[in-house]
Amino acid sequence: MIKVNFDASFIAQYHLSFSGVVARNAKGLIMVVGIIPHHFVTNPDMAEIYACIDALKLARDSRFITVIIEEDVLTIINKVHDMRAFFSSLSFSYVGHSRNMVAHVLAHEGRGSRGPRFWIEEVPPIVEQASLKENWWVNPPI
């Protein structure tokens, strides 16, 4: 069972967004994180939809087959369901902002990058700090 959280950072004046994505195993250990930039983004909802798609792609490309997608914008979860065929089990879950901090930090960290960046099992210090603050592992709903 893998949980994947995502968030987006949107810069309206440049029509840019950055997706922050984090995948954790059932023990709460970070398996992979990523920052993905997007150009020609016109609004915050579009940025969140791109981030959700990036989360699904990360799970698919990592070959995770039992996945829970978590995000802090409920309307986006209700809009994206096309990639279910890639997983034996896929569910979407709303979580509060305090349980989505790593994805949020990644999305904002992406503002300084020019292309996609991924880390597997080792993460930047800012991500490690956000993970400790997030308290994700306390009563994980898996």
Would you kindly state where each structural domain of the chain is located, as residue ranges?
A: 2-134
pTM above 0.75, yes or no: no
Q: Which of 104, 111, 123, 109 is nearest to 7 (CA)?
A: 104
pLDDT in tens, the chain (142 residues): 999 999 999 999 999 999 999 999 999 999 999 999 999 999 998 999 999 999 999 999 999 999 998 887 777 766 666 667 778 888 878 888 778 888 888 888 888 877 888 888 888 888 888 888 776 445 555 4
Which homologous superfamily is 2-134 in?
Ribonuclease H-like superfamily/Ribonuclease H (3.30.420.10)
